[in-house]
Structures are given as structure tokens and as C-alpha cells.
Amino acid sequence: MAVSSFPCIQPVRVPFKACSLFPAGVCGGFNKKKKINAIVFSSLRKFEKDVNFQSKVDTLLNSIKWDDKGLAVAIAQNVDTGAILMQGFVNRDALATTISSRKATFFSRSRATLWTKGETSNNFINIHDIFVDCDRDSIIYLGKPDGPTCHTGSETCYFTSISDLLKGQEVEETNLALTTLYSLESTISKRELELAGQHGKPSWTKRLLSNENLLCSKIREEADELCRTLEEKEDSSRTASEMADVLYHAMVLLRRKDVTIENVLDVLRRRFSRSGIEEKQSRVSTESQV
């Protein structure tokens, strides 16, 4: 699976040694006064053996189109759910630090210092990969957050919907910028709360939530119908529709078991992105898993 990763996967906490990976000056802005969880890779020696690594990082940093203040935009995104967690700015040092520490690090424009998300809250964003855009002036930190990212305690910083504001509705921190799957998940959770509080209108979701036999028979039925679109060579639009049914009904079951889609994606990522060696050790046949 193409959840790519930097060379030398396993991080070990060692203070400030990360800077040794970069030429003098690259990590100069790192805030040494704070107890920052600086990280180096366990296979640092392997890294150091790559005499080209520092020059590769330098070349990369030189290729970024820094603005007139030496900054580029950095967007932190949850590797599993795709949720945009926060957005900040990076300078050369911040990006270099993120590459070495694998913890999302930014440049604070107001305080004019580097800061690693989580350095005070411990809610780090653990980097899986970093992407730059076609113009080389915008960066995605694709990572897994240790906890809520927003200083308000919200999962992400984006909980204010403009359409809600224009409709005059109050801002709720549970109303995150949710994409389709998570929006449906949120609706199912609301139906469960309504069911518990015996309010709200009747709905199919509530019937499923309160009838285990109905729910399981629907999941088996929808899975069967999905298969039949292949077996009976039905139109692809039927396949999309039946898969939507499978997903929806299975998500109601997940809610019953207090499991989130993010939990499921976490399992999928760990299962399919593990390193070749780990995968080999766990293999029972000569086939690779995916």
C-alpha cells in the first residue's frame, strides 16, 4: 500500500540530535529553551552512511518557493480520515525539523519561533509523508494526530461553517468540516443520541440501531446484493449503489459497537502499509497480503 514513509521508520526520542542530520543553520531556529520531543530515527547510522542525504534535504529545501517572508503554507491532514487538522506556515527550519523529527512543526509568525504541534499539549501530529504542490509553495503534512489538534480541544481547527453563520445558527464545535463518510457517521451518532433521549423523528437508522436482527440481516443481504452485481454482470451504477448500502448498514453496526471509521482505517493502514520484513514475518503463505 502506498502510504509512503521516510527511510528509517522507527522514531526514538533523543533530544536535539535530529539537527545533526542537517547542515549548520538549518535547525538554528529550533526552540532549545523548551522541552521539545525531538526525535531521531533509530537507524541513524544508516542515515549517516548516506552521504547524499544532507545534500538531498538541502536541494529539496532550496526547491521550495519561499515567499518574501521566507514562508510557505503547511496543511496538516489526518492520514486516515483526510480531515484537515490545522494550517500553519513553515520556514526552512520548520520544514527541516519536521523531516527529521517526524512531528509536524511550524513557524509562528506572531512569536517568530518554530513550534512543534503538541510541544505543550502532547497532541503531536506524527508525520507519515509530506507532499509539496506543483508550484512548490504549499505543503501537506500527512500525519496521524495523537489527540485533538485545536487548542479549543476540538478534533480540528475548522468547526465554523459559513453556511451556519449565514443562516444565523450557533457555532457548535461538533460541526466539523466533515467529508461525506464522516458526515454520515456523525448523523448515525446523532440518531443514536436521539434514540437514547427518545426524541427526534422515526428513522430507518434508529430502527436498525434498536434491532440487532434486522441490522445483521440487512448487512448480509446488502453484501449478497453487492456480490450479485458482479456475478450477474449488472451495471456498475448498481455496484456503487449496493456498496453504498453495505457501507451505510455496516456503519450502523460500527456505531453499535462503538467503533469509528477511523479505527477501521487505522487497522487497514497498519495491515497494508507495514514494512516488507514485518509483513514477511507474519505471512503464512508465500503470497504478499496485498
Region near its own copies per CB under 8 A, out of 10-18, 30-38, 115-123, 201-209: 201-209
Other CB atoms within 10 Å distance of the CB of residue 253: 16
Per CB under 8 A, 8 contacts its own copies: no
Cell numbers placing 154: 476540538
Cell numbers placing 181: 463518510
DSSP H/E element including 178: none
* Interacting residues with its own copies between 11 and 50 (CB under 8 A): none
Region near its own copies per CB under 8 A, out of 27-35, 38-46, 114-122, 210-218: 210-218
State the amino acid at position 6 in one-letter form: F
**For its own copies, which is the closer residue by CB, 35 or 90?**
90
Contact 76, 45 (CB under 8 A): no
Per CB under 8 A, 268 contacts its own copies: yes
- 166-192 burial, b at 16+ Cβ within 10 Å, e below that, comes to eeeeeeeeebbebeebbebbeebeebb
Binding its own copies (rule: CB under 8 A), the pick from 207, 214, 274, 279 is 207
Q: How far is the CB of 7 from its own copies (least distance, A)?
A: 6
* Interacting residues with its own copies between 81 and 110 (CB under 8 A): 81-84, 86-87, 99
Region near its own copies per CB under 8 A, out of 12-20, 23-31, 70-78, 114-122: 70-78
Contact 149, 76 (CB under 8 A): yes
Residues in binding contact with its own copies, number by CB under 8 A: 115
